[in-house]
Structure 1
Amino acid sequence: MNGNLQESYRRCCELARRAGTNFYVSFLTMPRAKRQAMCAVYAFMRRSDDMADDAGSPQGALAGLRAWREMLAVALDGKESGDPILPALADTVHRYGIEHRYLFELLDGTEMDQTKTRFATFQELYQYCYRVASCVGLVVLPIFGYRDPSALGPAEACGVAFQLTNILRDVKEDADRGRIYLPAEDMRRFGVSEEDIMKNRYTPAFVELMRFEAARARDYYAKAKPLLELISPDSRGTLAIMMEVYGRLLDKMEARQFRVFDGRTRLSGCEKFWIVLKNWRRR
């Protein structure tokens, strides 16, 4: 590995470490090469999100994402892109045989956030979840290591489960940004209006709606569970940590009766540490 590539991986790992997300703590159980690859993927995801969030306007975000898409294509073609994290990503993609289309579909999802703030049906929301989350699972699946093509389905379901959990956790934060990800068809079914969400009204109808969406998320966690036995043993700890962290977030929201308007549901550092410790040597 040449000096420039080493520096690119170092930057990616530092970015992932500084972010301190639920994902990063799970990477610690992997062999070094796989951990570096996961950091390269995470850095690409983080850079894509930041580019959209920091643009100041949807038009600016879309312009930035179009330029980022072009830089990604250049890097994946083996050429110098000008961005310090893309050499590590391109090396990871080549090393693990990751399909390029999933990275571009991930950018499609990031662009959706700039143009779509409501979802009429769960089918529409599923497409969004697939792009922003399932595609991440399909990118990292070759890093995890698998041989059976049947792993693709659970990997897709896992991304949907994680994203649905994020959506339930972030109802207030998204409403503050003018976004509602809860499907309109479900809101009508339970008698919850857009105004209820935008004004943070905690009602019995809202609780029932959230309970319904949480049950849907749990269905996808169940569909994702077989993935643990379909990936390489040295990656199972990482996936088990991710699934338990997100699963416990869902548990906490349910235990709080979905009082998501009162503040973001989080796991404490001690809770995360225990989950990592429990799964450290999982094989």
Structure 2
Amino acid sequence: MTTQEAYRQCEEIMKKGSLTFYRAFSLLSKPDRQAVTAVYAFCRTLDDAVDESDRPEESLAEFLQAFDHFLTGAEQTDALWVALRDVWERYEMDVEPFFELAEGMKWDLHKSRYATLEETEQYGYYAASTVGLMLLPILVPRPEEAMKAELRQGAIDLGIAMQLTNILRDVGEDLNRDRIYVPRDVLERHGMTEADLLARTVSPAFIDVWETLAQRAEMLYASARKTHRLYPPASRKPVQAAALLYEGILDAARQNEYDVFTKRAYVSTLQKGKLLARL
């Protein structure tokens, strides 16, 4: 398989998996855009190994074994590994967040309830901040040493904000899978129990719970925005676009009157255009 064919398949995975990210990162130059699609394909394939498999633990182990083979330089013909090999050769990639994302997948295998907001945000780091850290060498190649810590923290904040947004959008879907990412301490702070959440009622208390997490996410989006000035002009707008489009999901849920049990909040094409016009 040629490298270009491998990238084409990765692009299809990204287009099918997240039109929001696909549209945001389409603003990149072709080489950087292709590298982003390869990283996305890695993340999506790893996620599917857990969520779409009848034997998730074995599927996760098999995927990580294939990644180990990749890291040793073994020849592989699957599109993901062909494309990722090219990325590894062109950028100074950091392997740690790739393994940390797998740690988040392991949490999903063995954990379905979260006691505190801190614990939920730790999951958000594994599940989403890691993706931002994977992309940093592509979006900000060879940054100055003084910028590295701030860039890293911005990527972490943005990832947690996005994962909190996912949690708020998917409350109903997660209940269907017997998963509750809304932390127990936030529920209790507003007089709610797990049973109340399972009742799937948009009560005043639920709105307070939802807004507590939403406002935390918005604070993290704002914190991440402060680091956007550190990105080169070529990658700054795609990162800003991804953040804007994702944050827009929160307002979409509000427009749905907080019904995240029977409706899926999304940013319409028209709304996406308006948000992107702000850039």
TM-score (norm 2): 0.93
Task: List runs of 5+ in structure 1 lacking aligned partners.
Answer: none
In structure 1, what residue type is equivalent to 2:103?
D
> Is the 1:37–1:92 contact (alpha carbons within 8 Å) kept by the matching residues of 2?
yes
- Letter paired with 1:26: A
Shift in Å, 1:14: 2.1
- The 8 Å contact of residues 99 and 139 in structure 1, kept in 2 or not, is answered as yes
Segments of 4+ moved more than 6 angstroms: none
Q: Of residues 27, 30, 33 in structure 1, which corresponds to 2:31?
A: 33
Give 2:74's match in structure 1, choosing from 76, 79, 82: 79
SS in 2 for 1:261: coil
Q: Offset of 1:257 from its aligned partner?
A: 3.8
Distance across 2 between alignment mates of 1:237 and 1:157: 18
For residues 196 and 84 of structure 1, the distance between their equivalents in structure 2, rounded to whole angstroms, comes to 45
Provide the residue aligned with 1:90 in structure 2: 85
Q: Where does structure 2 lack aligned partners over 5 or more consecutive residues?
A: none
Aligned to 2:221: 221
Q: Which residue of 1 aligns with 2:207?
A: 207
The answer to whether 1:129 aligns with 2:141 is: no
Q: Deviations over 1:130-172 (max 9, x none)?
A: 0110000001111111431121111110100111011001000
Q: Which amino acid in 2 is paired with 1:137?
A: G
Give the residue type in structure 2 aligned to 1:76. L
1:84-123 equivalent positions in 2, closer than 5 A: 84-123=79-118
| SS at structure 2 position matched to 1:119 | coil
Q: CA RMSD in A?
A: 1.6
Matched AA of 2:26: L
> Aligned-pair distance for 1:173?
0.5
Alignment of 1:63 with 2:61, yes or no, is no
For residues 144-155 of structure 1, the aligned pairs below 5 Å read: 144-145=139-140, 146-147=143-144, 148-149=147-148, 150-155=150-155
**Could you tell me how far apart the structure 1 residues matched to 2:101 and 2:178 are?**
22
The residue number in structure 1 matching 2:3 is 5
Checking the alignment, whether the CA contact within 8 Å between 2:115 and 2:183 is kept in structure 1 is yes
Does 2:186 match 1:191?
no
- Residue in 2 that maps onto 1:50: 48
- Offset of 1:223 from its aligned partner? 1.3
CA shift digits 1:215-262 (9 cap, x unpaired): 111111111012211111100111111111112111222344422123
Tell me by how many angstroms 1:277 deviates: 5.2
Per the TM alignment, residue 98 of structure 1 is displaced from its structure 2 partner at its CA by 1.5
TM-score (norm 1): 0.92
The match for 1:175 is: 175
Sequence identity percentage? 35
